[in-house]
Amino acid sequence: MKVVATADIHFGHSEHLGKINPETGLHTRLEDFLRNFDEIVKYVVDPKNDVGLFIIAGDLYKTRHPTNTQQEEFAKRLHFLQEKKVQTLILVGNHDIVVSEGSSHTAGVIGALADQKYIKVIDKPEVFQMPGINVVLMPYVYRQKLGVKTNDEALQYYHDTIKDLQTKVGVGPKLFVGHQTIENCHMPSGYVDPEQVSEIVVPQSFLKGFDFAIFGHIHEHQVVCNNPTVVYTGALERIDFSQSNKKVGFVVYDTEPNTFEFVNLPATDLYRIQIDLSDGEGDLTKRIVDNIDQTRIPNSIVKVECKVRETDLCKINKSTIQAITGRAKFDAGLVYDVIRSHASRNEEINESVSSHEALKKYVEGRKDLADISEEIFKRGLEIIRLCDARRK
Ligand SMILES: [Mn+2]
C-alpha cells in the first residue's frame, strides 16, 4: 500500500514576501503554498499512483487564528479529497493548538464537518487501521497540556502511550506518525534549541517495533535514522531565504517493500544576492547589477543585501537596481549592512605633548596622506606659529 505524507503546510506563512494578487484576491504566498498542495492532491487522486492513504502530519496554518480565506481554500481541497473518497488523516501539530483555549485547535471545524469515513482529525493519540496498514498517531505533546511539571514526565507519557497503542495494533505493516523534535535530527539555522523553549525531544529508541515513521515539525526534509527509517517530510514550501537551496516535496511510503520516495514540488525561487562592497572599489551600482542573474528575476522573490561603507552609500544608484528587481514576482528590497567609519583617536596625542609634537604625530598617523605629509606639516607649523603669536 502507498501512503502519501506531507506536514507543516502552514497556509499564511511568510506573507511579508508577497502581496495580494489583484486578479485572484489571494495573497501571492498563499498561492505558492496552495499550488504545491494542489500538486500533492493531484498525485494522491491519480489512479495510476495507487495511493491508499493521505496523511497531513501537523501544522496547518501559520498562526493559530487563520484567516477566513486560508480556511476556505484549505476546506475546498479537503472537500475535493472527500468527494474522491481519499482516506485522509490530519494530525494536530503545535501550530494548531491554542493553549489558552483548552482542547480546541485549528482543525476542529474540519473535524466536525467532514465525513469521518474519509477525513479524520487526530487530536488524541490513537491507532488507525485499514486493510494493509496500521498507523499509530501521536499529536503534538507538551508538558503544559499534560499538566506535568517536567519534560521527563511528558516523555514518560509519550513512551507509555506508544507502548500501549502498539499492543492494540494488528498484523501487517506498522507506521508511526508524529509531530515532534526527534533526538539527533538536523536542526536548520534559525531553530531554537528545544531546551530553551522547553520542548520534549523524542528518543529514536521509542520508535522501535515500527516499520516506518513519518514526522512533521522540523521544516527540512531529512532521514533522521534507520531501523526503522524515520523521516521528516519537510515543509510544503520554502518559507525564508535560508531555505533558498533546499528542496521541498512530499513523502510516498510504500509498505511493500517498506521503502519511501521523496517527490519534489515546484518550490518558489527565493533569490538572495549578497555582495560585499566594503572595499569601495569601482562602480558600486554596476558591481551589484553584474551580480544579479537576471534570468531568475521574473520567477523569483528577490532580495539584495550589500555590505557597504557609510561614505559609499551615495554612490549606489537605487533606482537602477530597483528597475531590475522590480520585475520579480516580489521585490523584497535592497538592504544595506552599513559599515560606519570611526575616526580613531591617536592615543599619543594628548595634553602632555607640545603642539609641534602633536602635529608631527598626526601627520605620521595619516597614512592616506603620506604623499603630501611634508606639505601638511609645513603649513601646520605656520598655523601653530600664528596662534602662538596671537597668544603673546
Ligand atoms: Mn511547523
8: alpha, beta or left? (left if phi > 0; alpha if psi -120 to 50): left
Q: Specify if 47 maps to a domain.
A: yes
Grid cell listed for 19: 502581496
Question: Looking at the structure, do residues 221 and 156 belong to the same domain, yes or no?
Answer: yes
CA 216 to chain centroid, in Å, comes to: 14
Q: What CATH number corresponds to the domain at position 233?
A: 3.60.21.10
Q: What is residue 101's predicted lDDT score, i.e. its pLDDT?
A: 65
Distance CA 176, CA 139 (A): 11
Name the residue type at position 57: A
47 plus 152 within the same structural domain: yes
Q: Could you tell me if residue 348 is inside a domain?
A: no
Specify the 3-state DSSP secondary structure of 325: helix
Q: Are residues 96 and 197 in the same domain?
A: yes
CA gap 331, 42 in Å, rounded: 31
The CA distance from 236 to 10, in Å, is 8
* 136 and 252 part of one domain: yes
Any domain includes 346: no
User: In terms of domains, do 148 and 293 share one?
Assistant: no
pLDDT value of position 367? 82
The pLDDT value recorded for residue 126 is: 96
Dist. CA 62 → ligand 1 center (Å): 8
Distance 54 CA to ligand 1 centre (A): 18
Residues 185 and 321 in one domain: no
Picking from 194, 193, 253, the residue whose alpha carbon sits closest to that of residue 50 is 253
285 and 232: one domain? no
Q: Is 168 helix (H, G, I), strand (E, B) or coil?
A: coil
Decide if 120 contacts 90 (C-beta within 8 A): yes
Which one-letter DSSP state was computed for residue 391?
H
Contact 224, 184 (CB under 8 A): yes
Give the model's pLDDT for residue 282.
94
Q: Phi and psi (nearest 5°) for 280?
A: 65, 10
Task: Enumerate residues 6+ apart whose C-beta is below 8 A from 315.
Answer: 280, 284, 285
Question: What spacing in Å lies between the alpha carbon of 59 and ligand 1's midpoint?
Answer: 5
Q: How far is the CA of 179 from the centre of ligand 1 (A)?
A: 9
227/107 same-domain check: yes
Q: Which of 264, 293, 324 is the last residue of a domain?
A: 264
pLDDT along the chain (392 residues), means of 10: 97 94 95 98 97 97 93 97 97 86 83 94 96 96 88 94 94 96 88 77 95 96 96 95 93 96 96 95 95 96 95 93 96 92 71 87 86 92 88 74
Q: Would you call 371 exposed, middle or buried from its count of C-beta atoms within 10 A (0-12, 13-18, 19+)?
A: exposed
- Angstrom distance (rounded) from CA 321 to CA 337: 16
CB 174 within 8 A of CB 128: no
- Using the mean position of ligand 1's atoms as its centre, give its distance from the Cα of residue 57 in Å: 10
Q: Is 273 inside a domain boundary?
A: yes
The residue from 244, 264, 284 where one domain ends is: 264
Residue 9 CA, ligand 1 centroid: distance in Å:
8
Say whether both 314 and 172 belong to one domain.
no
Task: Name the region of 61 (left: φ>0; alpha: ψ -120 to 50; beta: rest).
Answer: beta
Instruction: Report the pLDDT value the prediction gives residue 368, as an integer from 0 to 100.
Output: 83
Domain end (from 222, 245, 264): 264
CA 108 / ligand 1 centre spacing (Å): 18
Q: In total, how many domains does the chain have? A: 3
**115 within domain boundaries:** yes
Q: How many other β-carbons are positioned within 10 Å of the β-carbon of residue 245?
A: 8
Cell numbers describing residue 246: 533546499
Considering the domain architecture, whether residues 201 and 231 belong to the same structural domain is answered as yes
Alpha-carbon distance of 317 to 313, in angstroms, equals 9
Q: How far apart are the first and last CA of the chain?
A: 103
Q: Residue 342: its pLDDT value, please?
A: 64
Residue 347 lies in a domain: no
Q: How many Å lie between the centroid of ligand 1 and the Cα of residue 69? A: 20
Tell me which residue range forms the domain holding 198.
2-264
CA distance 297 to 300: 5
Centroid of ligand 1 to alpha carbon of 217 (angstroms) = 5
- 259 & 286 share domain: no
Q: Cell triple for residue 230?
A: 524515520
Does a structural domain hold residue 79?
yes
- Measured in Å, residue 10 CA sits from the centre of ligand 1 at 7
How far does residue 225's CA lie from ligand 1's centre (Å)? 20
Residues 104 and 61 in one domain: yes
7 CA to middle of ligand 1, Å?
8
Q: How many CB atoms lie within 10 A of CB 244?
A: 16
In a domain, 345, yes or no: no
pTM of the prediction?
A: 0.83
